[in-house]
A = this chain, B = another copy of it.
């Protein structure tokens, strides 16, 4: 069970899956879309997702090389929960930061 949570408990995984909701993206496009992720972590995250059967990796033997990533059917089923989390996060972001400030203010007089 903890093994499965590691799939979704990784923030990069969630963000990458979220980006793939509208269809196929290239490596570089993902790199630009997911702000703050390093090339290394993007590679590792995609490998992980591919290993778990959540995304497909398609290499086009061209020059320059082109690699496309897309959600599998299994990945799409997860997407619903992920977007729900995304909605929750954006909906309550302000509320949470307010709580944090209040909490910190109470403990640092």
Against B, the Cβ 8 Å flags (1 = close, 0 = not) of A1-21 are 111111111110011000000
Let me know if A85 is at the binding interface, CB within 8 A: yes
Closest to A78 in B: B88
> What residues of chain A have their CB less than 8 Å away from a CB belonging to chain B?
1-11, 14-15, 36, 50-53, 74, 77-78, 80-81, 84-85, 88-90, 92-93, 95-100, 103-104
Verify A95–B14 contact, CB threshold 8 A.
no
Q: State how many angstroms separate the Cβ of A41 from the closest Cβ of chain B.
A: 13
Interface of A is mostly: helix
Given contacts A1-B93, A100-B52, contact A11 B11 (CB under 8 A): no
The residues of B that contact A8 with a CB separation of less than 8 Å are 85, 89
The residues of B that contact A77 with a CB separation of less than 8 Å are 88, 92
